[in-house]
Structure 1
Amino acid sequence: MWRDAAPPVRKYYAYQAVSSTGFITPIFTLFMLARGLSYSEIATLSAVVAVLVTVGEIPTGYVGDRVGRRNSLVASTLLLVASLVGFVWARSFPAFVVLYALWAVGLTFASGSDSAWLYDTLDGRGDAEAFTRIRGRGQSVRRGASVVTMIAGSLLYVVEPTVPFLAGAALNALGVPVLLSMPRNEGYAEGTGDRLTAAEAVDVVRRALTRPALRTFLLYVGLFFGVVSASNTYVQPVTVDVLESHVAAFGIPEEATLGVLYAGFTGVAGVASYHAGTVEDALGLRRAVLFVPVAVAAALVVPRTLPLVALPAFFAMRAADALLRPMASGYLNDRIAGAGRATVLSAASMAYAVLRVPLILAGGVVADAAGPLTAVAGFGGVFLVAGVLLGRFASPVVGGSASGVAEGT
């Protein structure tokens, strides 16, 4: 993969590797609880992130289109590193609000810009059709790095809870020189090129997101990504309930166990992401996008009556999410004009966030009343019903070649 790739693609893979947050993923909630935060305070912080991501997606995407996608990614990296370092010293709820805000804004600067940079780079080389394959492999590289760092982070947490955050900051900081070595997209190479005004950006987003080819697609895949995100909230309590007796028998520290578990999830997702292009070629984009989410949603319903099926269902969920994201990104990129690419992709991410928030809030109510397995089954059921209703009015996936935002499909 690395040997055969062109230099810009190799640098893209390197950036994906050092942008992993695996050091903190399996221990983050435990760390926050140890710092004295309650579950309600942690939930409030998550809501802060959701709101800031929703509000900030389009403005930061617009900034990416104005100043260049590479520069937007550098800004994202610096914000994420600052947030990670801040967690080492933060002790109060207001301090955590600030750090969460930095993290959220950092995420929005990267959202859309990384995909837009890759697509425009490949398109400039006449190789845009390779986007899904390279995007998928890049995500696989990132998840491969996460497998290693998740295991290491859970073990480091046992030694000293702040070390995973410092390790994560150091790894992410390596992204700055990597990004600065990556070429700018052609329109930004000399500080010139097609730039959208704010009014033009609003018009591009409006025309893009109201087109049939994107409107129903965003609703369908956005709902699935929302189901995955909402279900992820309950992966830990469900798996602990299923595996608790087995883990206790070996005397393995809980933190180390979670690291291995999340590394397993990430490894499966990495394999799926790596082969996204292969699956798209074999099944076709339409079949993959239509049928994979349905199969996973059905699998999430089953553990309500057969709890042991929960772990395979969670593995399938992670794999499907990793498989479909490069395909969805490629579908959107093929139908967006270059000048507003990052802005529209950020708007799509905002749409995903809007769909995700009510699922998360409703899931919390259901989980408190009937348990996390019921909440997860509810997510699967909601997607199945909504998918059928959407399919009655319009196909979520419209075939055809790249068309740009001005086209009708």
Structure 2
Amino acid sequence: MHRDFSRNILRLYIIKIAKWFMLTMPIIMLFYKDSGLTHEEAFQLKAIYSISIVIFEVPSGYLADILGRKFTLILGTILGTIGFVFYSAGTGYWIFMAAEMTLGIGQSFISGSDSAMLFDSLNADGKSHKYLKYEGLNFSIGNYSEALAGLAGGALAEISLHLPFYFQTGIAFIGIPAALTLLEPPRMEKRKRPGFMDILNVVKYALVKNNRLRWNLIYSSIIGTSTLTMAWVYQLKLHEFGFTELFIGGTATGLNLLVGTVTLFSSKLERKMGKKITVLSTSIIITGGFIAGGFTHSAIFFLPVLAIFYMARGIATPVLKDYINQITPSDIRATVLSVRSLLIRAIFAVVAPLFGWISDLLSLSEALLIVGLVFMALALSTVTLFLKTLKKKEG
């Protein structure tokens, strides 16, 4: 009897909403500042979150390949709820650290597993060729959720910077029943002998043996780290300009509506522009956005820079992820996608405390400029090798 695995798509969208309807996202740096933390301490907490993901990312992806995507998605949604309980129940650097560690571990169990579940569900129904369309829609739903949450979170923060965290706990909880009712799709192969060496073998295959996959992962991770960093930085820059929590939340709403809309057309734009132009243009815009932001001392100029940056993000994220999926075997796809997330978080764990330290030592603008130059150097040093892998695929 044929089972309709496409029913998983709606549940994955609910999980995406539970993870991305982030009332706390546009105001968390302001929350840290209000709690007496320096920029360095605030970015240390974000680094701790990333380190937690780095430690658990690949093992969690491996468990998804062994025990099933459903198992890890259930665990991830439960931990995601507990993390916000910590934020709601206490205050101070150490309780925030416990919350970030829990949220990081929870995120590691969802990251990669959700995209792998989507691809395998479509593949089981003979629709794998529609992955980019649905992944783009999934990404757009996330961004629209984050957009609406930005305005709501900003409004709640006007009342109290603690209030968004109370509501966030309830929102995180809705992902649990969605994960519990997923159907595990069949895969072409299942790994039969779990072990740490198997994890290392997949990592070695992805980053050492498979040249095409290696440069796809490295380049995608550099761009992913750049967009992640800007998500935390811009709220501090807007606060520096003197904007209120409501305006910052509203800006988050506008930016995510913009990126969500662009993402819906990412597949068509990539086909129209071609792979090379798509990659080069988004790379220059994303890394150059930091440098432009560092030179900008007026909100009138900074806000358009931010908008263009987020438009490029809306194209780059689903397109680069699709390149990876298309060259990755089904039985290790979740692990490989987790390797990508691991690389992003590992780079961010280094960049974030550095950014906070430079910001406290010099200024926010100088930190933007310096980090932007670092990202641009990393992107330009790898983009040629990455583009060669796309030519091999086309050939």
| Aligned counterparts of 2:386 and 2:249: Cα–Cα separation in 1 | 42
Residues 298 and 384, structure 1, Cα contact 8 Å, conserved in 2: yes
Deviation at 1:323, TM superposition (A): 2.2
| Aligned counterparts of 1:231 and 1:146: Cα–Cα separation in 2 | 15
CA distance 1:397–1:235, change in 2 (3 Å):
farther
1:223 counterpart residue number? 222
1:44 counterpart residue number? 44
CA distance 1:51–1:386, change in 2 (3 Å):
closer
Coordinate RMSD, CA, aligned = 2.8
2:263 counterpart of 1:267: no
1:200 counterpart residue number? 198
TM-score using structure 2 length: 0.88
1:236 counterpart residue number? 235
- Secondary structure of the residue aligned to 2:20 is coil
Matches within 5 A, 1:7-86: 7-86=7-86
| Aligned counterparts of 1:303 and 1:394: Cα–Cα separation in 2 | 27
| Aligned counterparts of 2:387 and 2:321: Cα–Cα separation in 1 | 18
Residues 390 and 396, structure 1, Cα contact 8 Å, conserved in 2: no
1:100 counterpart residue number? 100
| Aligned counterparts of 2:270 and 2:206: Cα–Cα separation in 1 | 24
Residues 53 and 107, structure 1, Cα contact 8 Å, conserved in 2: yes
| Aligned counterparts of 1:152 and 1:378: Cα–Cα separation in 2 | 33
| Aligned counterparts of 1:40 and 1:384: Cα–Cα separation in 2 | 23
CA distance 1:305–1:51, change in 2 (3 Å):
closer
1:209 counterpart residue number? 207
| Aligned counterparts of 1:43 and 1:383: Cα–Cα separation in 2 | 17
Deviation at 1:109, TM superposition (A): 0.6
1:405 counterpart residue number? none
2:337 counterpart of 1:340: no
Residues 30 and 236, structure 2, Cα contact 8 Å, conserved in 1: no
Gaps of 5+ in 1: 248-253, 403-408
2:120 counterpart residue number? 120
Identical-pair percentage? 21
After superposing the two structures, state which structure 1 stretch, 81-90 or 120-129, moved more: 120-129
1:349-376 C-alpha deviation (Å, 9 max, x unpaired): 1122222333334433443444222322
| Aligned counterparts of 1:395 and 1:318: Cα–Cα separation in 2 | 22
- Secondary structure of the residue aligned to 2:314 is helix
| Aligned counterparts of 1:137 and 1:258: Cα–Cα separation in 2 | 25
2:185 counterpart residue number? 185
CA distance 1:125–1:105, change in 2 (3 Å):
same
Residues 230 and 363, structure 1, Cα contact 8 Å, conserved in 2: no
Residues 138 and 274, structure 1, Cα contact 8 Å, conserved in 2: no
Deviation at 1:209, TM superposition (A): 1.8
1:294 counterpart residue number? 284
1:211-265 C-alpha deviation (Å, 9 max, x unpaired): 22122222222222222333334312322344x3xx5xxxxxx221221111112
2:372 to 352, 362, 380: 380
| Aligned counterparts of 2:155 and 2:180: Cα–Cα separation in 1 | 32
Residues 295 and 369, structure 2, Cα contact 8 Å, conserved in 1: no
Deviation at 1:50, TM superposition (A): 2.3
2:344 to 344, 352, 356: 352
Letter of the 1:382 counterpart: V
Deviation at 1:392, TM superposition (A): 5.6
Residues 187 and 194, structure 1, Cα contact 8 Å, conserved in 2: no
| Aligned counterparts of 1:334 and 1:90: Cα–Cα separation in 2 | 45
CA distance 1:182–1:275, change in 2 (3 Å):
farther
| Aligned counterparts of 1:381 and 1:185: Cα–Cα separation in 2 | 44
1:153-181 C-alpha deviation (Å, 9 max, x unpaired): 22223334443223222122111222233
| Aligned counterparts of 2:366 and 2:44: Cα–Cα separation in 1 | 23
| Aligned counterparts of 1:224 and 1:351: Cα–Cα separation in 2 | 11
Letter of the 1:237 counterpart: L
| Aligned counterparts of 1:125 and 1:289: Cα–Cα separation in 2 | 31
| Aligned counterparts of 1:279 and 1:135: Cα–Cα separation in 2 | 15
| Aligned counterparts of 1:278 and 1:395: Cα–Cα separation in 2 | 19
Q: How many residues align?
A: 387
After superposing the two structures, state which structure 1 stretch, 36-45 or 271-280, moved more: 36-45
Matches within 5 A, 1:134-153: 134-153=134-153
Deviation at 1:133, TM superposition (A): 1.7
CA distance 1:127–1:347, change in 2 (3 Å):
same
Letter of the 1:343 counterpart: T
2:247 counterpart of 1:277: no
